[in-house]
Amino acid sequence: MVRWELFHHGADMGVRGAGRSKAEAFEQAATALTGVVTDPATVAPSTVVEFTRQEADDELLLVDWLNALVYEMATRRMLFSRFEVAIEGDTLHAKAWGEAVDVARHQPAVEVKGATFTELQVRRDPDGTWIAQCVVDV
Amino acid sequence: MELAQLLRQSETEWWILPTGKMRVPVVIYATESLMQEMDQKVYEQAVNVATLPGIEKACYVMPDAHWGYGFPIGGVAAFDPERGGVISAGGVGFDISCGVRTLLTGLTREEILPVREGLAESLFRKVPAGVGSRGQIHLGSQEMDEMLRGGASWAVGRGYGLPEDLERTEERGRMEGARPDQVSDFAKKRQQDEMGTLGSGNHYLEVQEVRAVYDSELAAAYGIRDGEVVVSIHCGSRGLGHQIGTEFLKRMLPAAARAGIELPDRELACAPIESDVGQEYLGAMRAATNCALANRQIITHLVRQAFHQIFPSAQLRLLYDVSHNTCKVETHTIDGHPKRLFVHRKGATRAFGPGHPDIPAALRAAGQPVLIGGTMGTASYVLAGTGKGLERSFGSACHGAGRSMSRHQALRQWRGRELIDDLAAKGILIRSPSYRGVAEEAPGAYKDVSAVVDAAHEAGLARKVARLEPMICIKG
């Protein structure tokens, strides 16, 4: 039930997280975001970065969360592999653990330019699983 | 794409007539086989664009079109500010002013071949490429604003290139109306160490050989000779442009709602040109355009340094620099009258015909060079804008091959190391920090660029001038 995956898109990449709660789905979507760039298993969770984001709508909150990670990845030259997300009402508090990009070890494939509204969904399936997904521009 | 839904006008022109909320038709330029390959999503997205306020004539779709966000990639639409026309961040794209420039080296294939390994290494060392790479230039806040106002002119002023390069760059190297004050500190921070870097994905630096000349008169006017080696640089406005795209896409959602615009798709978020958000986006987008022009100018300088280590007297003159993701203010004739329009080209190249005043004087009689990027294993093309193109697509043509396969599928099908070996066996040297990146960008994951270029030529959007084949490719 708790998992992440990448899904097909013509030019870019879709990221999807699934979990028992909305927060868990957001954590998994973030892992999928790393999966666009490299294998998350190769990223050591040695440094932590904290986030707070606020949006009235769950879907915009997901885009905002992923874009916050994109920004930190770009400016800190980091990759993240472990996430802890708490969502209270319209506010997300999160921690992300990762390390600086090591080109030889991580073989990063592509930069993420930004998370988009394409295929954007935050939903709860009939079996209770939360899904958080969107396409990211690469 | 389901062809039964379209009205075929010729071998390379297809129409979707206005229905529902569409204000204008959609006109797609492509052959039947390219149409069959095109995503159904292109149809839906082009129809959505045709519903936007103030759109003029039609939503045009180029032969390399594929599914984008909001606008299809390969979509062209012009908006009239006096009829409530809009500007859309999704109509420009995240990589604002991403484009191609081509340098003429004056060297032949025979001169390059004995030194190509050393040249490839030198270029790979000089031009930072890939995720996490930094340039040698760190911009403080005042210098950042000067760069955002000055574009390639700023770069030349700092010693990165030659004054004559500016004559051969769209906007003469500097887009007017840039407003660094509308670029957030977040966007500036993303850029402070990224000047002169190539980026990743489909961005590249290629050493190419002119393998065919289709129009000797136009080739001569451009200074292109059969057998000559050229260098093409494909990249854009890096982190700064991406951040501006992200921020304004979000800001344009409420702006559209405030203006009473019914959005068929959130990705089509837009704002009236004359609104505050519209004007602020234009100022930021023009600053990002200058960032892209400065970035390609600095990379040009680094390429020249790498060449000069081996060929001290090589000149490396700039043929031209064109952008693919832009919105420009242009005057076009509508129903016999000149009109000032905001022309969005997303994954499309401007392609003005002979005599247009916006073309540099030295190239004006021939028409604007249209630089079509290939993939690391397939050809690139030089075309020339046509007079006919102004009526057919607001003077626009295709921009590249366009992907036909997702990165995910490509990764399943190819291994980076094997691909590099296969291309080396064909005489193409690849240098990249990432095997996975190479696999995702496999030439087989793209459409046949020659079919795309032939369709643009047949449709009269641009004329074929020359074909370029890769010899060395630096991939991010």
User: Across the interface, do B243 and A103 touch by the CB < 8 Å criterion?
Assistant: no
Q: Say yes or no for a CB contact (<8 Å) between B200 and A7.
A: no
Q: Which helix (H) or strand (E) holds B150?
A: helix B141-157
Question: Smallest Cβ distance to B132: which of A67, A77, A118?
Answer: A77
Of B449, B387, B468, residue with least CA distance to B222: B468
Given this model, what pLDDT does residue B245 score?
95
Residues from chain A that touch B132, judged by Cβ atoms under 8 A, are: 77, 100-101, 103, 108
- CB-nearest to B69 from A71, A75, A135 is A135
Q: Which residue's entry shows tokens 């990448």?
A: A6
Considering B66, B344, B399, B457, which one is annotated as catalytic?
B399
Query: For residue B209, which of B469, B450, B472, B429 has the smallest C-alpha distance?
Result: B469
Name the token pair of B461.
Answer: 């959007």
As for the ipTM of the complex, it is: 0.95
Does the pLDDT of residue A115 top 80, yes or no? yes
Cβ–Cβ of A111/B200 closer than 8 Å?
A: yes
In angstroms, the separation between the Cα of residue B24 and the nearest Cα of chain A is: 24
- In this predicted structure, what is the pLDDT of residue B69? 86
Distance from CA of B152 to the nearest CA of A (A): 23
The DSSP symbol for B126 reads: H
Across the interface, whether the CB atoms of A10 and B434 are under 8 A apart is answered: no
Report pLDDT digits (tens) over A39-77. Answer: 999 999 999 999 999 998 999 999 999 999 999 999 999
Q: What integer pLDDT is reported at residue B200 of this predicted model?
A: 92
B399 is catalytic: yes
- Other residues' Cβ atoms within 10 Å of the Cβ of residue B18: 15
Percentages helix, strand, coil for chain B (3-state, rounded to 5) are: 40, 25, 35
Q: Which chain A positions have a beta carbon within 8 Å of B446's beta carbon?
A: none
User: What's the rounded Cα separation, in Å, for the pair A19 and A3?
Assistant: 7
CB atoms within 10 A of CB B417: 11
* Cβ separation B190–A71 shorter than 8 A: yes
Whether A110 sits inside 8 A of B200 (CB atoms) is yes
The rounded distance, in Å, linking the Cα atoms of B404 and B451 is 13
**In this predicted structure, what is the pLDDT of residue B100?**
97
Helix (H) or strand (E) holding B284: helix B276-310
Residues of chain A contacting residue B201, judged by C-beta atoms under 8 Å apart? 110-111, 138
Per-block mean pLDDT, blocks of 10 residues, chain B (476 long): 95 97 98 94 97 98 92 97 96 96 98 97 96 91 97 98 97 97 98 95 96 98 97 97 95 96 93 98 98 98 98 97 97 95 97 96 97 91 94 96 86 94 96 94 92 97 98 94
B472 half-sphere exposure, CB direction, 13 A CA radius: 24
What are the C-alpha distances in Å from B62 to residues B59, B66, B393, B456?
10, 9, 9, 8
Q: What is the pLDDT of residue B377?
A: 87
Nearest to residue A32, comparing CAs of A4, A7, A9? A4
A125 touches B at CB < 8 Å: no
Write down the pTM of the prediction.
Answer: 0.97
Could you list the beta-strand ranges (E) of A1-138. Answer: 3-8, 13-19, 47-54, 78-88, 91-100, 114-115, 121-124, 130-137
